[in-house]
Every structure is written in structure tokens, then in C-alpha cells.
Amino acid sequence: MIAVIGLGYIGLPTALLLAKAGNKVTGIDIDPAKVKTLNQGKLPFQENGLEELFEAAKQNFRATTKPELEQADTIIICVPTPMKDKKMDSTPLEAAIETIKKHAKGKKLVIIESTVTPGTTKKLAQQLDHWLAYCPERAIPGNTLHEMIYNDRTIGGTPESAEKARAIYSTFVKGEISLTDSTAAEMAKVAENTYRDVNIALANELALIAEEAGTNIHEVIKLANKHPRVNLHQPGIGVGGHCLPIDPWFLVEVYPNAKLIPLSRKINSHMTKRIVELLTTAHVKRVTVLGIAYKPDVDDTRESPGKELKKQLEKKGITVKVYDPLVNPEQKLEESLEHAQAIVLATAHSAFKNLDWREIAGKLEEPKLIIDGRNMIEPPANARYYGIGRGDLK
């Protein structure tokens, strides 16, 4: 039997994929409401394909709030590891480890999926008389199940524990599974997300340069990426999600003298502040933010730039309404736009591309400002328009 501790965006899909593969799986979570929902045959959140997977896997899956670890041969930890004071907050992970120490009798395979500071698994190995391995997830909301199945995976640990973990993941993973030591696997995980954060910071800085140079950064990036060894990312109003704004700090925690990583975080955080400056300079008092999810076409709001923008604007005394049909399907766009002087496109939801922007601009009150934070729309002629990196429109 396999026990999965933590039934969130990663833990629940992992548990269900294992159950569908024929493993008996017990999901453990501290949230009674979530456990009750699952045991009623309902899902606590939406993800493409998850409903069908739940139906196929539920005969081998059950959820509980109790630490039922006695019968488990394998325990997988999928608890969150948030950031606190720019360091990993290990409180949820430590609680899971204490639960294992107290309730898991006999030698078991313990696998950590949570993103951690490099070196964490080796430290935990000193506390546990179990085989311990580290296997970070590689998945993105909106495409989680496909990526969990087909992406390559890395497993770190001793040769024995890593092989045992590979046997578990091989029941559903079709990508290549590479074995290494735990610290290398931990660092690879945070390095992957740090690479993307640093690349976005470069794109954001190039966007600001393009504005000064009077050119279009999106055309620049398109042309530069024709080079076979160049892959510039896209600029925007900020970086969100549970990985990119957080994981880079786990590397700085190990090496406080790091220079590039903190600078990249500063650049990406500055993009949201820049939007606030634009709105205050324009003397805007009422703003509608379109999109509170951190990425397109999902309902996940963790660390979203839209939320941060709302907070910063309200600190300036600006009234903010938010419209996001994926996060709150009951909202009405018309109500969100009432008395708005400006709109900020914060999330590139597909639904926003199909709106009649000339009509929307006509409903705005002066100064009629549209800030396109995701390069989504053609500038309407009846409103002021600012697009990040659109120096050609100055």
C-alpha cells in the first residue's frame, strides 16, 4: 500500500495516477473538508483530465485525515514548502516527517516530492530509519496529468532507495527516469525554475530598453529566437505561481553571496511596481484588473501578479475591481467595469482575447487607460494604451 501525505495540486494527481496503475493508495490530508469532498466522489479543485482519472482510480483510492501509515510500504510526501523571509518554510515538511517517525513502524520507502532547499533530504535521512529518496514533480497547472506521465523524472537518494523509488514511479511514468544523489536532484529542481525566472528577468529588462529605443520587444524576441541557440522568454507584469517566485530563493539560502538570482527576482518584482507607477502618474483612482490567476486558462491564484497588483494599488488608495471568469465564474464583466478609469490585463486568459476592446474602451471614464501586461490585444483607437516593451507606440 502507498500513502500520499498532502492532497493538493501535486499530491492528489500523484495519488490517483498510482491508484489507476493498480496500487492501493491512501491519501492523507489535514483538511477535513477536502477529505470529505474526495470521499463523496467529488474533486476539491479542477484540472484537465482529473475528473476522468478520479473515476478510473477511485476503487483503489481513499482519503483520510488520520496518519494511517502502519500498512504502507511506501510513503510519498507532497506537502507545500512555502517561503518565509526568503528561505524555505520547512514547517509542513517537518510535520510530515514527525508523523512518519511516530506512526510508520518498520522500514519503509519514504519519497519527498516537495520542492526543498538543496541538502534537505540528507539532513532528514539522519532522523529516519527508512529508505529515503527525493523525486521532484515536473508539472504545470492546466497540463498536470500529461506532464506527470510523459515528462522525464529525476530521483535522488542512495542507490538502493533510488531504485526502490524508480520501481514505484515506473508504474505510471512514461518519460525517462534518471537516478542521482538527493542533493543533485534537489538542486536540479530549483535550478530549472531559476533558469526560467532569470530568463524572464532578461526579457523584462529588454522590454524596458525597447521602450526607450522606440521599438517593439515582441518583434525583437521573435527575431532573436530565430538564432538556433537563443530562447528568450516573454516579458510581462510579473512572475507568479508556486515555483518561479519562490524556488530561486532556496538556492540563495544555500549560497547567500549569489548575485544574479536576487537581481532577477528584483527585476521581475519591479514590473508590477511599474504598473502601479503608470496608474498613479495618470491620476487613476478606479481600476479593473482582468485576471487574478497566475497563468492563462487555470484557476490557480498562488503568488499571482494580479493579486500583488491589487494589493499595491489599494495601498495607494486606488479602488480595484477584479474580473477572472476562471477563478469566479459568477462574476459579470459589465459589473467589474462600472466607473473604471483604467484596465490592466494581468492574465492572458483565452476569453480576454475575444472581447470587443473598442466597446470596452468606450465604457471607460477618463483618462481611459488600458495597460496590456501580456501583449494580448491590438490597441483600441478610443483609449490610451500601454503595452510592456511597445516602444513603437510611444
For the chain, 394 residues long, give each residue's pLDDT as a single digit of tens: 999 999 999 999 999 999 999 999 999 999 999 999 999 999 999 899 999 999 999 999 999 999 999 999 999 999 999 999 999 999 999 999 999 999 999 999 999 999 999 999 999 999 999 999 999 999 988 899 999 999 999 999 999 999 999 999 999 999 999 999 999 999 999 999 999 999 999 999 999 999 999 999 999 999 999 999 999 999 999 999 989 999 999 999 999 999 999 999 999 999 999 999 999 999 999 999 999 999 999 999 999 999 999 999 999 999 999 999 999 999 999 999 999 999 999 999 999 998 999 999 999 999 999 999 999 999 999 999 999 999 999 7
Q: Are 175 and 352 in contact (CB under 8 A)?
A: no
Kindly tell me the sign of the dihedral angle through the C-alpha atoms of 370, 376, 380, 385: positive
Annotated domain spans of the chain: 2-180, 195-393
Q: Are 349 and 373 in contact (CB under 8 A)?
A: no
Cell of 368: 481611459
Assess whether the previous peptide bond of 296 is cis (omega < 30° from 0): no
Residue 318's identity, in one-letter code, is: I
Active site residue 78: no
Question: Of these residues, 20, 34, 164, 243, which one is catalytic?
Answer: 243
Fold matches, 2-180 and 195-393: yes
pLDDT for position 394: 76
Question: Of these residues, 34, 108, 164, 189, which one is catalytic?
Answer: 189
Quote the distance between the C-alpha of residue 198 and its chain's center.
16
pLDDT for position 315: 97
- What CA–CA distances, in Å, run from 216 to 213, 222, 386? 9, 10, 12
The CATH code of domain 2-180 reads 3.40.50.720
Report domain 195-393's class. alpha beta
